Chain A
Amino acid sequence: MILRKYLKVYKKFLHTSLASELEYKTNILVDLITSILSLVGSIFLLSIFFQNNGNIGGWKFEQALIIQAIYTILNGITNTWFNPNLTEIVKHIREGTLDFVLLKPIDSQFFISLKKINPSGFLEIMLGFFLLLFCIRINQINLSLSFLSLSLITISCSICILYSLWFFISTTTIWFVKTWNAIEVLRSFLYIGRFPLNSFSFSLRVFFSIFIPIAFITTIPSEVFLGLSQLWKILLEVFVASVFLITSRKFWLFALKFYSSASS
């Protein structure tokens, strides 16, 4: 019953934000070219790394491409859902319009996390999928049901972690008002997700597994694709993802107690 109501509301969200985004059609084209170029750029960078080296951190070039593919898909998801909505949260809080959201008879986190959508991110997701299919071919991965379900589980966990990180930073807007730069810091850290975790030194590896779990976001799903992942890593990722989701929810509810609207 409640689920049906939320689905119905979400359909309306999709409709309105697609209609407003499609007003800027050339923008979507420019964004498509941008995402293609940025993929080409990172493959170029990767090819420089592999120029004289057979492997980096134990990953061959073809295997490292899988990480790029997964990163591109996740980045597309970030650009489609997380980025447009969470920049909106900052605006809501700064201008005090969060009041109107809180008054609505619907969950506030649902409303502010899914209100907007940016269709140009879809193209990036598709681009990532094409690269992933290509990688599956060149790495000669056998598709089986258990493999598909495992990779689906790990990628959904990555999406949850990514969402929680973004949502967590946006929530801090309630205290700090301006968080653009914090988002910029997160972005630059996430950039590391383009490379296999093993290619970093030990101390950075620890940092990226514990404080900002970038290791979990791209490396573990890629290992699943290559059939290298152990069961405990997958279970750990599920655990980390649920901790992040629950914490971000609790943190939002906690932060709302401190929300005092603009100019009051």
Chain B
Amino acid sequence: MLEYRVEIALWAISGIIPFFMLNIWTNNNLNESINISDIMLSRYFLCAFFVRQFSVVWVVFSFEEDSLMGKVSPYLIQPLNPFFRYFAQHLAEQITRFPFALIIAFFFFIFNPESLWIPNLGILLLSIVSTFLSFLIQFLIQSIVACLCFWTEKASSIERLLFIPTLFLSGLLAPVVSFPAYVKSWIYLTPFPYLIDFPANLLSGNETNISGGLSMQILWIFLLFPLFKKIWSEGTKKYTAMGS
């Protein structure tokens, strides 16, 4: 992973959309209407950036490429689910990304020194846990989509479709608190607000329901995991190596 330092640095930069959104919010005083101060909002978006950096998943693209190239066949013979391989790759890349994310945060604090804060240890640990849970949810969803490769060959377009609600509803571009009431009434039942909004609120010290959020995350993992196992076992039965 360290071989691709430039790549990972660029990848970290590509995640800076939350900062542009923050700029729109504070520059137009839009946050007055939702009762969040400039400082809290800037912390929120910084945390959203961090959570996104450590929960981003691309397993569907790796799996699609491997499946189209016929690389999945040797993996299937091994006595280990190939998704463990991708899982380990993701974790390794997250660790390499950490210093770059810190550098970006450092620059953020130079430009916004007043928003510097130190979360207490308990909150920090809890938010690391919830970020990891958010990563697990996204990993499971994408793995389920990736298994569709066994049927359609081009599963990445389905992933791009699923990415749209993730982008707009997860809180990456606007905190969920600011959503209109007709969206807020059902959004907390979907997995989306637990992907970014909940961990980011937790870490930044904004108001949030800690036990409720964590239990919803765990609930979604328990719902998605059997689904993944089911679709995986169906898919491998269906699998015929490319060109056969």
Chain A residues with a Cβ under 8 A of chain B: 24, 26-27, 30-31, 33-34, 37-38, 41-42, 44-45, 47-49, 51-53, 56-57, 176, 178, 180-182, 184-185, 187-188, 191-192, 195, 199-201, 204
Contacts and interface: CB of A to CB of B under 8 A. Distances in A.
A54 B222 CA distance: 44
Given A53-B30, A57-B28, A204 B23 contact: yes
Contacts of B14: 181, 184-185, 187-188
A200 B173 contact: no
Interface stretch (B66-74, B162-170, B212-220): B162-170
Given A45-B173, A188-B16, A204-B23, A52 B10 contact: no
Contacts of A176: 6
Given A51-B33, A192-B20, A201 B161 contact: no
B152 interface: yes
A34 B20 contact: no
Given A24-B154, A26-B152, A34-B160, A185 B24 contact: no
B131 to A, nearest CB: 21
Given A52-B33, A181-B7, A201-B27, A27 B164 contact: no
Contacts of B178: 48, 51
Contacts, number: 92
Consensus secondary structure, chain A interface = helix
A126 B165 CA distance: 22
A92 to B, nearest CB: 17
Interface of B: 4, 6-8, 10-11, 13-17, 20, 23-24, 27-30, 32-33, 152, 154, 157-158, 160-161, 164-165, 167-168, 173-174, 178-180, 183
B161 A37 contact: yes
Given A27-B157, A188-B16, A181 B173 contact: no
B11 A51 contact: no
Given A41-B168, A48-B174, A195-B24, A185 B157 contact: no
Contact of A200 (B6, B24, B160, B180): B24
A49 B24 contact: yes
Contacts of B15: 188
B30 to A, nearest CB: 6
B17 A191 contact: yes
Nearest to B173: A45
B27 A44 contact: no
Q: Shortest 8 CB-CB distances between A and B: which pairs? A: A52-B33, A41-B168, A181-B10, A184-B14, A37-B164, A34-B161, A185-B14, A30-B157
Given A51-B180, A53-B30, A184-B14, 14 more contacts: A30-B158, A34-B157, A34-B161, A41-B165, A45-B168, A48-B174, A48-B179, A51-B30, A51-B178, A52-B32, A185-B14, A187-B14, A188-B16, A199-B24
Nearest to A37: B164
A178 B174 CA distance: 32
Residue of B15, B28, B160, B179 with highest tally of chain A CB at under 10 A:
B28
B70 to A, nearest CB: 17
A204 B30 CA distance: 18
B23 A200 contact: yes
A258 to B, nearest CB: 18
Given A33-B161, A53-B28, A57-B28, A184 B11 contact: yes
Contact of A52 (B17, B30, B152, B167): B30
A216 B27 CA distance: 21
Contacts of A37: 161, 164-165
A187 B10 CA distance: 12
